Copies of this chain bind each other. A is one copy, B any other.
Amino acid sequence: MPDTRATIIDQPLIVLHPDDSVGIARHEIAAGTALQGGLVVASRVPAGHKVALKPHAAGDKILRYGQIIGFASAPIAVGAHVHEHNLGLGEFTRDHAIGADRQSPAPHLTGRGFLGYRRPDGRVGTRNYVGILTTVNCSAHVALSVARAFERNEMAGYDPLAEFPNVDGVVALTHKTGCGMSAGEPLQLLRRTLEGYARHPNFSHVIVLGLGCEVNQVGGLFDGGNPALRRLTIQGEGGARKTIARAVEDIRAILAEPNAVNREWVPASELKVALICGGSDSYSGITANPALGAASDLVVRHGGTVILSETPETFGAEHLLTRRAATQAVGERLVDRIRWWESYAAAHGVSLNANPTPGNKAGGLTTIIEKSLGAIAKAGRTNLEQVIEYAEPATMRGLVFMDGPGYDPVQVTGQIASGANVVAFTTGRGSVFGSKPVPTVKLATNSPMYRHMADDMDINCGTILDGEESVADCGKRIFDRLLATAGGHRSKSEEQDFGAPEFAPWVIGPVI
């Protein structure tokens, strides 16, 4: 097997992980092409397809992203095209094999860190906002009006926070629900989401605004959250105007407090990274996702946390994660969530079937495992330490899986509620997503899009496709940027003040 780390640059094959037994054709490779390290490509290989980097006997594991994507169904020589004719899954996906691929974790690395906000109770924030949350859509306009009183107006040259440079802003996060809903799981899920935001360390103070008669009552919510939490209802205060005036006054009265807080060095183990891909393209699984996976492995090596989600994109390939489950209970909890999605999807007449389509196969994806790994690659290769439901607190370090849909704003809202303090978002088509109070870093899968949307992209992972960088080196660069962003470096979406409209709690029940 060639030294992939040394030979990747300027080669026709991309090697996604040092352990891989196949490489990916960067572009179409002609039959007989000789590569550095002595590998000769035996037959024509289309772009995105796999080439064997080592000989496989029938039954041997085939590794991509450093993980099993199937088994050789026939002997495979070095340089051979690997696809449906010589790669199969056998019984692999019928057995969750909880913990079968569990690893003994290496001791954590130390020394890397960032300048964070350490709150009095020890929680570490990466930003320093005052938050305004709402119980219901009926208080959304009031909440936004309060936030507006603290907004800079560049055209007017007006900055109401000029005296409070350490305060990142006053942000109102509003939503469309909170009433016209049933009081069971849909309501609990909304309350859990709001509670996660109310206690988020990126908020120094939080005000919660309700109407008064909504299903999602402000009473009983938000106990044990951030200090100086205030709760107001519009009906209690005597209308919108009085509520706005009261909340603005309350916030003005405390602004000196968050302004007095300073960043201090904290270890990289305080990183909690939300992983997400949105607007994916055929390069996502070759460039940005595996590069983010390399960064995820670095985060975990340093004792930090990465939060994977997007259950529907794991569907049918949950074995990838159950095999790495740190305990039996963790593996079983993931299987439970997959079962929940099966019945939820069936009740709504929606299909979650992720089997590779003919188009996927033409693009070089052979098995469902390989397809799902394109998304899961973001999480690297470490053990699965915890499975949580949407917006539940991520309390374990290492890789955590949060159940939830794949729709970007809904997913990230849950991850932030779970405690994520930086968001890493890969995109191929070009998303302009941003989040508050947690910064989002966007990773482009290809250089043309990176250049076309330069105002919105933070990191170009198209360098891997261009032959300028290995996956591992790109991963290091991402890790560095995550630390810098956690420490205050403003992301492209922050420069443009994205993040409030993208707050989108998951709605699972009917509107009535």
> Which A residues contact B (CB, under 8 angstroms)?
137-142, 144-145, 149, 153, 155-158, 160, 174-176, 179-182, 211-213, 234-235, 238-242, 279, 312, 344-345, 347-348, 350, 352, 405-410, 429-434, 452-456, 496-502, 504, 506-512
Contact = CB atoms under 8 A, between A and B. Distances in A.
User: How many identical chains are in the complex?
Assistant: 2
Contact of A409 (B176, B238, B500): B176
A511 B137 contact: no
A241 B496 contact: yes
Contacts of A452: 235, 238-239
Nearest to A495: B241
A182 B350 contact: yes
A512 B144 CA distance: 28
A432 B241 CA distance: 10
B512 A407 contact: yes
Contacts of A138: 279, 408-409, 431-433
A286 B153 CA distance: 47
A508 B507 contact: no
Contacts of A213: 279, 429-430
Contacts of A153: 153, 156, 158
A456 B141 contact: no
Contacts of A312: 512
A147 to B, nearest CB: 11
17 contacts: A138-B279, A138-B432, A141-B498, A141-B502, A144-B501, A155-B158, A155-B160, A156-B158, A179-B407, A180-B407, A212-B429, A240-B455, A240-B498, A241-B455, A405-B510, A506-B511, A508-B511
Nearest to A178: B407
Given A508-B510, A511-B410, A347 B350 contact: no
Contacts of A497: 141, 145
Tell me the interface secondary structure of chain A in the complex: loop
B344 A510 contact: yes
Contact of A456 (B158, B176, B239): B239
Contacts of A499: 141
Nearest to A505: B176
A182 to B, nearest CB: 5
Contacts of A158: 153, 155-156, 158
Contacts of A410: 176, 180, 511
Contact of A502 (B140, B212, B239, B240): B140
A239 B509 contact: no
Contacts of A455: 238-242
Contacts of A137: 408-409, 501-502, 504
A429 B235 contact: yes
Q: Which 4 A-B pairs have the closest CB atoms?
A: A180-B407, A156-B156, A140-B501, A156-B158
Contacts of A509: 348, 350
A409 B211 CA distance: 14
A433 B456 CA distance: 35
Contact of A501 (B141, B242, B512): B141
A141 B432 contact: yes
A353 to B, nearest CB: 12
A431 to B, nearest CB: 6
Contacts of A431: 138, 211
A352 B429 CA distance: 43
Given A211-B432, A409-B137, A410-B180, A510 B456 contact: no
A36 to B, nearest CB: 37
A453 B502 contact: no
Contacts of A348: 182, 347, 509-510
Contacts of A502: 137, 140-141
Given A241-B496, A350-B512, A142 B432 contact: yes
A240 B504 contact: no
Nearest to A428: B213
Nearest to A509: B348
B409 A512 contact: no
A285 to B, nearest CB: 16
A136 to B, nearest CB: 9
A212 B430 contact: yes
A510 B429 contact: no
Contacts of A352: 512
Given A153-B153, A156-B158, A160-B155, A405 B454 contact: no
A281 to B, nearest CB: 9
Given A155-B158, A511-B405, A432 B182 contact: no
A235 B449 CA distance: 9
A238 to B, nearest CB: 5
- Residue among A145, A240, A452, A504 facing the most chain B CB atoms (10 A cut-off): A240
A20 to B, nearest CB: 29
